[in-house]
Amino acid sequence: MSIMSQSSRTLFNGYNVTASAGTYVYNASGGSAATSGFVECKADEILVHVEVATLNAASLFYRIEGRFDGLNRWAEIYSATVTTADTIGKLVNVTERPKEIRVGARIDATLASPNVIYSAILLSEYK
């Protein structure tokens, strides 16, 4: 099987996460609404890239969420806690096939800053 096309959508490009106390942000504008940060994803393969380049809070939480056709609610696909900055990003293979996907990030109650995150959604089509 060969790759027919690939595309990516950057969600966070060196964004300083300051949202805490259960509030996730979903885009570089600090959006936390139900409509923030989503990417439509019709693809054979969905990979999510996440990297926490700088971390001054005790921990940063991120989660990948999906929304499926006919449902108007987000569901958690994957979540992780980062307690030290990454030297290289992590790829998460999304085996579910949501209609829309997004990545949310928040820090713990320690509001130390900066907490720099990078994230992108990578979509591949095969023939």
pLDDT at residue number 35: 81
Find, among 123, 101, 93, 94, the residue nearest to 6 by Cα: 123
Asked if 11 and 103 touch (Cβ cutoff 8 Å), the reply is yes
pLDDT at residue number 23: 85
The first and second tokens of residue 24, run together, are 């996730």
Q: Where are the domains of the chain?
A: 3-126
More confident residue, 53 or 73: 53
pTM of the model: 0.89
- The pLDDT tens digits for 8-60 are 999 999 999 987 767 899 987 778 888 888 889 888 999 999 999 999 999 99
Which fold would CATH assign to domain 3-126? Answer: Jelly Rolls (2.60.120)
Q: Kind of pairing, strands 60-67 and 100-107?
A: antiparallel
